[in-house]
Homo-oligomer: A and B are copies of this chain.
């Protein structure tokens, strides 16, 4: 057996301490704050921000996918025809037309929902945050993957909950049973079933059924975080977990990867009982999601522009994936392994066991190339030999040069260690 109970990983850079202040902040911080973890990605990004650095670190969509010309027209239309409502306060639940459009797209995929099951959130990060806030007490456990999305781990930690990572599906039931025996029954199972961040792996229908079976058996909620699902380049679409159980699954969606991240529009699909609680939580958090952006997004969907642009985005990212895979084949030294994702934005790369990508980072940054260490995605501090590589953002030339530099850095490290 190979599961981990949570240990904090140590490599995380803690908030700075300023000793000279009149008020000693350390003494009055909440336990939530003391349990928060600064995003390792953010700190790496600040190092990787120099123009000479080729960075595979961010999870940025390609700006070529931003429908700038369509936006020019739609924004003028919104300002011409509905400025008074689009610039005013809005409902906490979100723009009604947008909720209808989102519900419509999901019902076409087999979900039994209406707009009443849709809460617009300020990014899907807020979706995770609000769900954490209404369900997690300090010490509560959450099952997640090893690796899993860093932002979700951050949200769980920020409420003093403990993500418990599992490496393989087969560990799920034993982990749940053990936690129950320890009187630490998990509140939910956090999953990213399609093109998982960072691993790029997609769960097949059997795996989804198994997770739901365990959830029903032990009466757990399932969080289906789904930012990448629509970015499938090939292979067979798997059913959404929400379509397989609409009483136990909470679904998070976002426009950040399929439309644009700058609007920060996400959503939660859930039973109305849960939406009702989330609305109360959202009232005290930001009252409502930016209203103008929602009006623009609603119109963009109504006009059918979303589907058109999505098709182009998939084509672009498919080519980018093919290109980076070709570069990896060409340049990577023996012993390095990587995933071949059917969609999404990331490759997940492993060095031989025993190597640490944090050490590699220090070599790589001298070669002017950056990535995210895989450890950041492992709630138990494991995964030290892994890293996440984004392929959506960069052009072909920079990608090839970046892979060359990365391969060189890896060779250097492997040689030094010999």
User: In the complex, which residues of chain B have a beta carbon less than 8 angstroms from the beta carbon of A66?
Assistant: 83-84, 87-88
Asked if residues A72 and B68 are in contact (CB atoms below 8 Å), the reply is no
What is the minimal beta-carbon distance from A398 to any residue of chain B, in angstroms? 15
Q: A276-306 vs B: 1/0 string, CB under 8 Å? A: 1100110111111111110000000000000
Q: Report the bound CA distance from A264 to B286 in whole Å.
A: 8
Asked if residues A154 and B68 are in contact (CB atoms below 8 Å), the reply is no
Nearest B-chain residue to A288, judged by Cβ? B264
Asked if residues B290 and A290 are in contact (CB atoms below 8 Å), the reply is yes
Binding stretch for chain B, among A32-40, A195-203, A325-333, A379-387: A32-40
What is the minimal beta-carbon distance from A152 to any residue of chain B, in angstroms? 9
Asked if residues A290 and B263 are in contact (CB atoms below 8 Å), the reply is yes
Of residues 175 through 201 on chain A, the ones whose CB sits less than 8 Å from some CB of chain B are 187
Contact of A129 with B by CB under 8 A: yes
Q: Report the bound CA distance from A221 to B277 in whole Å.
A: 31
Contact of A76 with B by CB under 8 A: yes
Q: Report the bound CA distance from A333 to B176 in whole Å.
A: 66
Nearest B-chain residue to A18, judged by Cβ? B273
Interface size, chain A (Cβ < 8 Å): 85
Asked if residues B23 and A134 are in contact (CB atoms below 8 Å), the reply is no
Asked if residues B87 and A151 are in contact (CB atoms below 8 Å), the reply is no
Contact of A29 with B by CB under 8 A: yes
User: In the complex, which residues of chain B have a beta carbon less than 8 angstroms from the beta carbon of A58?
Assistant: 89
Of residues 243 through 261 on chain A, the ones whose CB sits less than 8 Å from some CB of chain B are 247-248, 256, 260-261
User: In the complex, which residues of chain B have a beta carbon less than 8 angstroms from the beta carbon of A274?
Assistant: 25
User: In the complex, which residues of chain B have a beta carbon less than 8 angstroms from the beta carbon of A30?
Assistant: 133-137, 140, 159
15 additional A-B pairs beyond A30-B140, A72-B75, A126-B285, beta carbons within 8 Å, are: A15-B276, A23-B247, A29-B135, A33-B280, A36-B280, A72-B76, A87-B261, A88-B260, A89-B256, A122-B286, A125-B285, A129-B285, A154-B283, A263-B292, A290-B290
Q: Which 9 A-B pairs have the closest CB atoms?
A: A262-B291, A154-B284, A87-B262, A22-B247, A33-B134, A18-B273, A63-B84, A87-B260, A264-B290
Question: Can you name 15 A-B residue pairings with CB atoms under 8 Å?
Answer: A15-B280, A16-B276, A23-B247, A31-B137, A32-B133, A36-B134, A42-B92, A42-B283, A66-B87, A89-B262, A122-B286, A123-B286, A123-B287, A129-B285, A264-B289
